[in-house]
Copies of this chain bind each other. A is one copy, B any other.
Amino acid sequence: MTGWLAIAGLGPGAAALVTPEVTAALDDATAVLGYGPYVARVAPRPGLTLYPTDNRQELDRARHALDLAASGQRVVIVSSGDPGVFAMAAAVFEALETRPDLHGLDIRVLPGITAMLAAAAAAGAPLGHDFCAVNLSDNLKPWAVIEERLRLAVRADFALALYNPRSRARPDGFARVLDLFRGCCGDDRLMILARAVSTPDQAILTLPLSQVRPEMADMRTLVILANSQTRRVGRWIYAPRSMP
């Protein structure tokens, strides 16, 4: 048995942000699995089978990948961004829990540029001080937990990177988050709405909280709430390294 499984991050979109480690794994793979739009970023070639699947099928995809690797295939599961940040790595380890016979399998997690790093870079350096990353999807956790985490993070004056702010299934969540921020941050607090970062569709908005509207975010947007010290310099914004 010479199969292996790599859980790889493709970065936010641009080919120039895919690590050579991930490119090498894809070049050597016999099977690539993932959400359709991510698999579409992998060039077809003889000897490689592509398995695009729907969103929300993470566990089934993980089990399929483990089976293929166990049968001797060289398998890459692709995620956008980093596979360990709100992506496929956790789903694979969850699937592995029920398969102790596969605990010896050759599994590697290959990191990638996660959306918040690319969004921050496009806007300046809003994550230059302490920060948090929060998944706003309540598919797998109660909404009350999300709100409590946001409140504590704002109280600690962390910058906040918000993944999955809004989707068709959850049209109201981001509006509630904005209301929460308005209750505990000043009107001038800076926010970044980074859509489709590093792709031809990239659009970066930097606005004070008072001007942000829920419809400015969709499922391709990464949102950053800056910390209280963050300020503009020219067309950039950044979190100062020192505290006042």
**Could you tell me which A residues sit within 8 Å of B by CB distance?**
11, 14-21, 24, 58, 82-87, 89-94, 96-97, 100, 103-104, 107-114, 117-118, 120-122, 124-135, 140-142, 145, 148-149, 152-153, 155-158, 233-236, 238-243
Residue of B nearest to A236 (CB): B93
On whether the beta carbons of B149 and A130 are closer than 8 Å, the reply is yes
Query: Could you name 23 residue pairs across A and B whose Cβ atoms are closer than 8 Å?
Result: A16-B21, A16-B24, A17-B21, A58-B241, A82-B121, A83-B125, A87-B128, A89-B121, A89-B128, A92-B125, A96-B234, A108-B121, A109-B122, A110-B121, A113-B113, A129-B135, A129-B141, A130-B132, A132-B153, A140-B241, A148-B156, A149-B157, A152-B152
On whether the beta carbons of B109 and A125 are closer than 8 Å, the reply is yes
- Expressed in whole angstroms, the minimum distance between the Cβ of A29 and any Cβ of chain B is 16
- Point out the residue from B90, B91, B125, B148 that lies within 8 Å of A89, measured CB to CB: B125
On whether the beta carbons of A93 and B127 are closer than 8 Å, the reply is no
- Point out the residue from B21, B93, B134, B233 that lies within 8 Å of A130, measured CB to CB: B134
CA distance A75 to B17 in the complex (A): 20
On whether the beta carbons of A112 and B109 are closer than 8 Å, the reply is no
Number of copies: 2
- Point out the residue from B127, B135, B152, B238 that lies within 8 Å of A153, measured CB to CB: B152
Main SS of the interface on chain A?
Answer: mixed
CA distance A126 to B129 in the complex (A): 21
On whether the beta carbons of A124 and B93 are closer than 8 Å, the reply is yes
Knowing A21-B14, A24-B16, A156-B149, the reply to whether A82 touches B117 (Cβ < 8 A) is yes
CA distance A121 to B235 in the complex (A): 34
CA distance A90 to B234 in the complex (A): 14
